[in-house]
Structure 1
Amino acid sequence: MDSFLFSLLLAFVLALGGRDQWLVARWADALGRSQLLLLVGLASSALTAAFMAWVGAQFAAILPPRAAQMLVAFALAIAAAELAWPVKADAPYEPTRSLGAIAIVLAARQLGDGARFAVFAFAAGASLPATAALGGALGGGGAIALGWSFGAAGLARWPLQLLRRGLAACLILAALFIGLNARYATL
């Protein structure tokens, strides 16, 4: 249950101001707020969270416990680096009307973002990785729905870049503590 709640909250917060949220907000402005666009965004969020949770669980299963802890620390450090990287929220030059193309671009953006690496980390450390996948899917989907409903102008009013940098600092600290614990813990 803990991995579900932490994954849900962290995926939502880490996806705020992310590239996928800005992309959906721009598409919603350019194409209108169609429910199909929202459905594609939610489906992409669910699939990428499930994939990253599966990969995290597979890696953790083949590693010894201390190495799995170090894997969690590395995943959190990668998520922190992605959060610290500035987001360029450029408007789509020519928005496509193909929902398949939108889904591919959105999934590609989501696979490398900080929220999905957090899902990876929680799944690697959880006894039930499916709960981390479900929490990550719901949290990422909530951020997508927020971007879809607010649009680019609504998102621009929030200090999302400052929030992302603060979260990056917190994730670096968490990665350091988990990594040091894995390195110096006695079993």
Structure 2
Amino acid sequence: MHADHATRAAMTASLIFAMVAAFLAGIGARDQLIVARLSGHFGGSRPVLAVALACAALSAAALAWAGWRVETLISDAAETMLVAFALAAASLELFWRNREAPAREPTRSLAALAIVLLSRQLGDGARFCIFAIAAATASPQMAALGGALGGGAALAMGWMLGYSLERRVPLRKIRVAIGSITLATALVIALTARGIV
């Protein structure tokens, strides 16, 4: 009974942490900017939103599976350091100034949009966080679901705001703040793994 309760609690935590982390790390990310600009250019095209949400779900599933797969192959100590490294990588991506240039002639090709979004997502801060959470909690399904919901919410936010996203939201300040928190978390986990704190 207690084991079942602990398992459910861990799955719930994995879902919530992944959802919140993916949403926050997705604010001002390159995929969100692409979706916002396309939405502004094409007047809130629903197919753009549908493709964006599908890509968010696919990339979340891929990174959650990768985190779980790696976790099964390494020791507990190495797993903890892996989580720290993944969060550190996420923080660096968040600190990196986004220089995604607006397309002069945005394409209407949904296939091209999907390829571009996935290429941006598979190495961004949100997906690194999903990887870390899946590895830490050994609950890839919940990490994938939470990551898909959080990442999808960030993209939906960009789609709804369109051009207003970059004009009204202090994206750079938000990403630096989230990156600082993520880096601090990575340092605490790494120091804990080394027995320093």
Q: Same fold (TM over 0.5)?
A: yes
Using the TM superposition, give the Cα deviation of residue 169 of structure 1 relative to its aligned residue in structure 2, in angstroms: 1.0
| Structure 2 match to 1:174 | 185
The one-character-per-residue Cα deviations of 1:33-78 (angstroms, maximum 9, x if unpaired) are 1111100000000000000000111111100001000000000000
On the 8 A contact 2:95/2:176 being kept in 1, the answer is yes
Cα distance in 2 for partners of 1:111, 1:154 equals 22
On the 8 A contact 1:147/1:155 being kept in 2, the answer is no
What is the letter of the counterpart of residue 174 of structure 1?
T
Which ranges in structure 2 are unaligned for 5 or more consecutive residues?
Answer: 1-11
The one-character-per-residue Cα deviations of 1:141-174 (angstroms, maximum 9, x if unpaired) are 0000000010122332111110110111111111
1:184 alignment partner, SS class: coil
| Structure 2 match to 1:151 | 162
Tell me which of 152, 171, 191 is aligned to 1:141: 152
User: How many residues are paired up?
Assistant: 186
Q: Please give the residue correspondences for 1:39-118 in structure 2 after superposition, counting only pairs within 5 Å.
A: 39-118=50-129
Cα distance in 1 for partners of 2:59, 2:70 equals 16
Using the TM superposition, give the Cα deviation of residue 31 of structure 1 relative to its aligned residue in structure 2, in angstroms: 2.2
1:40 alignment partner, SS class: helix
Tell me which of 120, 124, 139 is aligned to 2:135: 124
| Structure 1 match to 2:16 | 5
Question: Under a length normalisation based on structure 2, what TM-score does the superposition of the two structures give?
Answer: 0.91
Cα distance in 2 for partners of 1:114, 1:155 equals 19
Which ranges in structure 1 are unaligned for 5 or more consecutive residues?
Answer: none
1:12 alignment partner, SS class: helix
Cα distance in 2 for partners of 1:18, 1:154 equals 11
Cα distance in 1 for partners of 2:70, 2:138 equals 13
What is the letter of the counterpart of residue 160 of structure 2?
S
Moved more, 43-52 or 80-89: 80-89
Moved more, 158-167 or 147-156: 147-156
| Structure 2 match to 1:19 | 30
Question: Under a length normalisation based on structure 1, what TM-score does the superposition of the two structures give?
Answer: 0.96
Q: Hey, which bits of structure 1, 4+ residues long, moved more than 3 A? A: none
Using the TM superposition, give the Cα deviation of residue 89 of structure 1 relative to its aligned residue in structure 2, in angstroms: 4.2
| Structure 1 match to 2:9 | none
Quote the sequence identity (%).
47
